[in-house]
Amino acid sequence: MALVEGCKHSIEITVPVAEVEKETERVVAEIQKKARLPGFRPGHAPLSIVKTRFAGEIRQDVLEKLVPRFFQAAVEKDHLKVVGRPDVTDVHFHAGEPLKFKAEFEVAPEFELGEYRGISIPYDEPKVSDEDVNERLEALRQQRAEFVNEEPRPLADGDYALVSLESLSGLAEKIQQDEISFKIGDEATLPAFTENLRGASPEESREFEVTYPEDYDRKNLAGKTVKFRATVKAVRRKELPELNDEFAKDLGDYQTLEELKTAVRSAILREREQRAQEEAKEALLNKLVEQHDFPLPDAYIDRQIEINVDNQLRTLAAQGIDPKSIKLDWNKVRESQKDKAARDVKASLLLDKIAEREAINATQEEVDREVQRIARQQREAVAVTRAKLQKDGAIARIAGHIRTEKTLNFLFEQARKEAPARPES
> Is residue 3's pLDDT more than 60?
no
CA-to-CA separations, 188 to 149, 179, 182, 206, 229, in angstroms, rounded: 21, 18, 9, 21, 20
102-112 exposure pattern, b = at least 16 Cβ within 10 A, e = fewer: bbebbbebeee
Element (H, E) at 161: strand 160-169
Confidence of residue 32 (pLDDT cuts 50, 70, 90): confident
User: pLDDT (tens digit, 9 = 90+) per residue, 128-173?
Assistant: 999 999 999 999 999 999 999 999 999 999 999 999 999 999 998 8
Specify the fold of 2-107: Alpha-Beta Plaits (3.30.70)
Specify the fold of 250-418: Trigger factor, domain 2 (1.10.3120)
Main-chain dihedrals φ then ψ at residue 212, nearest 5 degrees: -90, 145
> Is residue 393's pLDDT more than 90?
no
- Measure the CA–CA gap between 208 and 193, rounded to whole angstroms: 9
Whether residue 416 contacts residue 284, with contact meaning beta carbons closer than 8 Å, is answered with no
Three-state SS annotation for 268-319:
HHHHHHHHHHHHHHHHHHHHHHHCCCCCCCHHHHHHHHHHHHHHHHHHHHHC
Chain mean pLDDT for the chain: 90
pLDDT, position 56: 85
> Is residue 16's pLDDT more than 60?
yes
Written as one string, the DSSP assignment of 230-264 is EEEEEEEEEEPPPSSHHHHHHHSS-SSHHHHHHHH
User: pLDDT (tens digit, 9 = 90+) per residue, 84-137?
Assistant: 889 999 999 988 899 999 999 999 998 999 999 999 999 999 999 999 999 999
- Measure the CA–CA gap between 125 and 261, rounded to whole angstroms: 20
Composition of the chain by helix, strand, coil, percent to 5: 50, 20, 30
Say how many CA atoms lie within 13 Å of 19 toward its Cβ. 13
Which of 121, 119, 125, 120 minimizes the C-alpha distance to 276?
A: 125
Confidence of residue 273 (pLDDT cuts 50, 70, 90): very high
Whether residue 100 contacts residue 12, with contact meaning beta carbons closer than 8 Å, is answered with yes
User: What does the pLDDT average to over 268-291?
Assistant: 95
* CATH class in words for 146-239: alpha beta
pTM assigned to the model: 0.71
Confidence of residue 1 (pLDDT cuts 50, 70, 90): very low
User: pLDDT (tens digit, 9 = 90+) per residue, 214-239?
Assistant: 999 888 899 999 999 999 999 999 99
> Quick check: helix, strand or coil at residue 135?
helix
> Is residue 212's pLDDT more than 60?
yes
Q: Where are the domains of the chain?
A: 2-107, 146-239, 250-418
- Measure the CA–CA gap between 323 and 332, rounded to whole angstroms: 17
Pick the residue with more confidence: 259 or 4?
A: 259
